[in-house]
Every structure is written in structure tokens, then in C-alpha cells.
Amino acid sequence: MISSVHNPRVQWVRELQAKPRARRQAGLCVVEGVRLVEEAQAWHEHGEQPAAEQVFYTAEVSERGQALVQNCLAQGVQVEEVAAHVMSAMCETQTPQGILAVVRIPRYLQPAALDFTLILDGMRDPGNLGSVLRTAAAAGVDAVLLPPETVDPYAPKVLRSGMGAHFHLRIFELSWEEIRRVVAAHRLSVYLAAARQGIVYTQADLRQPLALVIGGEAAGAGDEIQGLGPSSIHIPMPGGSESLNAAAAAAAILFEVVRQRMSVER
């Protein structure tokens, strides 16, 4: 059992938690808690090995967590027991659930056809990004494109807020030039969510192949988005609020896409 916070593996986990560069160089991130470790273990990229590289747990982990540890062992994942204070040092949460895993960052090929794409421009709040990714996964988004200046999608708080969405969504960190090529190649109509600009979002035809753009919390979408020739849409706010939280706005519009497309199917 690992009982020292100075153990090299503990320091390795802490570095992955704290540094985006370390995560990118290693191609690894850290997921905490039973549910996220389960989601990671259930995810297989092209039928390859389990996503987890290493799992750490404490003796106090729940019965569900103990079953997960045994499952990881059966899959050949390296598993290590740690003392409770060591788990606390490795975790970002204030009340750890007694299990975490170092997992491979999911990598996907871009699909041959895109029909329902989300571009998150300049979103810097980790909790907001995670919430939007969770909503996007629920709405059946084909791909999420993250331009520069967007928070690291594999930061600890993003992963926790995403609640496993990272293992169900194609997430791509791209330059603006790459994003323009994707939009052109798939002939996507671009809709920009903007406060009090353009038409009401329910009046837009969201049944066609599209890319929905949601801007950051403070400044909204940047100037680069204008190169995509977007059509502005907005959510009416009769209560007089200046704007909606980015995650709330994304949820409203994403599920309007779902509603319109389900109406067509019927």
C-alpha cells in the first residue's frame, strides 16, 4: 500500500491533475470517483485495451468501488491501494470516493459525415465546459470542436462536470483554419448564439447539417467566427436578463435541434 504523498506515482498523478502540458505530452488524464472510472473502463477505442492505465483505491471505497477494482484487475489494469490521506492528496475533490484512475485521453478520427456539430469558442470556465459537454452527449452531437483559447477539456473540473461525456463524444481541439476546413468539407450551416441578435432560435431551420457556435461566458464568440459566415440566433429573455449562462444557452438550443429533428422523423 502506498502511504506517502511523496511516492513517485502519487507525484505523477498530481502533475497530471495540475498541468495541461503534462496531460497532453502523456496523452493521459485523471478521472475521480466510481462513476467516472466505470465510464472510462466501459470505453474502448476501436476494440482496444481498457482505457485505464492505472487505478488507485483506498480500503474505505464503497462496495460498488470494490467491484470495480476487481473488474479492473480482471482486465489486466495495474491497481494499487493507497492510504486515505494519499488519496486526498491525489484528488481535486474535497471528499474523494476512494478511487481514481489514470486513463488514456480518447482519440477519434473525424467521421466521414457530420450533421450535428458544436463549436465552443473561448469557453474558459471548466464547470461550464463540462456541463455543455454533458448536454451535447445527451443531445447526440456528432462532434465538438474546440478552438484555441478554450479551457483544456481534460482538466479535472471539466471531467467531473462532464460526468462521463468525454467517453461518449468526439472532442477535437483544432485551429481556426482546421475548423474552417471541417465546416466547408461537411457543408455545415453555421448558427451563432448571440444575445438579442438575429432571429429567435425556434424560428431557425435546425434540421439541416449544422454547426452551432456557443461563445465564452464573458466576451461571447470571438472575431474568428465571422470567417465561417454565421447566422445569428438568440433566446428571448422577457425577464430582462442581460444574458444566459453559456451552459444554459447551449442546452436550450441543442435540444431545440433535437425537437425539430424528431418532429421531422414523425
For the chain, the C-alpha Rg in angstroms (whole number) is: 20
- Residue 161 sits in a domain of what CATH number? 3.40.1280.10
Q: Are residues 216 and 152 in the same domain?
A: yes
User: Which pLDDT tens digits describe the chain residue by residue (266 residues)?
Assistant: 999 999 999 999 999 999 999 999 999 999 999 999 998 888 755 454 567 899 999 999 999 999 999 989 988 899 999 999 999 999 999 899 999 999 999 888 888 899 999 999 989 899 999 999 999 999 999 999 999 989 999 999 999 999 999 998 999 999 999 999 999 999 999 999 988 889 999 999 999 999 999 987 666 677 788 889 999 999 998 887 777 888 999 999 999 999 999 986 66
Q: Are residues 132 and 249 in the same domain?
A: yes
CB 105 within 8 A of CB 23: yes
Q: In what order do the strands lie in the sheet with 28-32?
A: 28-32, 99-104, 52-57, 78-81
pLDDT by residue (tens digit) across 1-53? 999 999 999 999 999 999 999 999 999 999 999 999 998 888 755 454 567 89
The reply to whether 36 falls in a domain is: yes
What are the φ and ψ backbone dihedral angles of 188, each rounded to 5 degrees?
Answer: -90, 135
SS3 assignment for 86-119: HHHHHCCCCCCCCEEEEEECCCCCCCCCCCEEEE
CB 159 within 8 A of CB 187: no
Domain span at 58: 8-104
Q: Are residues 84 and 136 in the same domain?
A: no
Do the strands 199-200 and 231-234 form a parallel or antiparallel pair, or are they unpaired?
Answer: parallel
| Predicted local confidence at residue 24, as pLDDT | 95
Q: Are residues 135 and 86 in the same domain?
A: no
| Predicted local confidence at residue 217, as pLDDT | 66
Name the grid cell of 251: 442546452
